[in-house]
Amino acid sequence: MAETNNHKLPMYAVIFTVIFKLLFLLTHHIQEDAFITWRVAQNVMDYGVIGFNGDIKISASTTHLYVFVSYLFNLIFGKEYFVEPILIFNSILFTIGSLFLSHLLLKNPWHKAIFIFLFGILPPSIKISILGMEYGLLFFLEMALLYYGFKKEKKWALIVFPILILFTRIDTVIFLGIVFLVDIFWNKRLRWNYILGGVLGICFALAFNWLYFGEVVNNTITAKKLLYDKNFTLSQDIEYFRLNYGNFWGMLKVPGDFNPFTILVLIFELLCFVFLIRQQEKRNYFLWMIFLFAWAKQLIFLSQKSLFDWYYWVPQILLFVPVLIFVLEQKVKRNLWLSLLIVFYIIPMVAFQTIHSIATGNGEWNYRRSIGIFLNSYEKDKNQWILLEPAGYVPYFSGLKTIDEVGLVDRKIQDEIRKDKKHYWINTVKDRKPKYLLSYNDLFAGEDGGYYRTHYQLLKEYRIKDHLKSDHKILEKIYKLKPSGTDYNLYIRIR
């Protein structure tokens, strides 16, 4: 009976971890881009079209599969009540994914249970679970592929999961490619079912884009590359990496250009990985897969100057896996090792993420959302347009048609960027005459101030300093310790 109960420990750990992380829902820390995906899902409900502004087709979201999942949650729970259920669903999926990972790497049920909990409360794991992005679904699918396809050797899994993974995000070709290379090196043979799954996945994702949207890659990729693309020399690339590696390679962001904390953790992760693979265990097969993928994903995305936090969440936690295994399997003074890890890393990281989520939740949910709520009540005609950046909270809660600066949700602005990148904002305003403008800057004071003063008036100012207050003194201290948000000016067209 005791042995049976021990085997249930990992599942108990899944349940406990999910319940623990649900506390973070109280922070209302939801990623801006999640609202883009959810608006696309609601656009499917309202217009029968995968788009953002009415019946115009556009791949405004980075993920197709998660759009359909979000559509189902909207359909089941309604637009007003689907958010909490889908966040809980994401957390459950991610934690089940960590259960699969524990089965791949550990044997002892107690070790698996502790691993699931500690792994699940690391900052990237919390963000994957409760920020509303597609990475909970993606992590589940990737770990399910490794568990069912490569450990259990289910042929169906080698075909089905690559298709679902690629339909979630096309850049997962990096993960699938690393797994393919490690498998060939390790087993000295080709898995034709896996090759078939990969080929079908790529063909299905690209064919869907081409047949439905008339494009090969998602519009989001095209838009970001168009606006953010810069030509760097080798020395500039090296300097760029030095300035940014710390904030995206590690779990802790610190001010300044130099992040010694990340270097120390990275060195320890490497040492633990080397220690483990020298043991000649069967699990090394999977350790190589996840560790090489994490390094490859980080290097590729940093080299492409992709400075969006969520690209790095999964690599960050996978790089830390060898540390957790190393500590859990210590035969001498294991409790001391585990205590040191919890006291000096896990608890500080959870505390950091708690403060970060509370502060960011205030800046996003309490502050930026209020702009959308104001516009929703102020402007009854939802066919009116607003030009702004970013395209998450404000368009979602205002219901207005949207032109975003990057072109994620509107292709026409990309044409202006191609014609005249320096003046594309004012050219878009003159050509399309949106009723509302939401800007970080004082438009009346710029070089085109005369045009703006003639055609627009300031409707409302939004200042983050006005939202750093709370009846709860601890919350107020956190808001002021880590203010999150940007000052905005909202303009309305007058002629």
Taking the chain (495 residues) in runs of 10, the rounded mean pLDDT of each run is 70 97 95 96 96 94 95 97 97 98 96 97 96 97 98 97 96 97 96 97 96 91 80 68 65 66 88 94 96 94 80 94 96 93 95 94 94 96 95 95 94 93 94 96 92 96 92 90 90 93
Q: In angstroms, what CA-CA distances link 150 with 145, 181, 184, 227, 282?
A: 7, 13, 12, 40, 12
Find all residues with CB under 8 Å of 454, minimum gap 6, and list them. Answer: 495
Q: Give the β-pairing of 401-404 and 456-462.
A: unpaired
Tokens of 278: 């020298």
Cβ(34)–Cβ(132) below 8 Å: yes
Look up the pTM and report it.
0.95
SS3 sequence of 428-480: HHHHHCCCEEEECCCHHHCCCHHHHHHHEEEEEEECHHHHCCCCCHHHHHHHH
Residues 193 and 155 sit within 8 Å (Cβ to Cβ):
yes
Closest CA to 129 of 35, 62, 30, 41: 30
- C-alpha–C-alpha distance, residues 284 and 439, integer Å: 51
Helix axes 9-21, 123-130, angle to 10 degrees: 70
Residues 6+ apart with CB under 8 A from 423: none
Residue 223's pLDDT is: 87
Query: What pLDDT sits at residue 1?
Result: 40
CB 181 within 8 A of CB 148: no
Distance (Å, whole) CA 323 – CA 450: 59
CB atoms within 10 A of CB 121: 19
Within 8 A by CB and 6+ apart from 236, the residues are none
> In the block, which residue shows the tokens 């249930």?
8
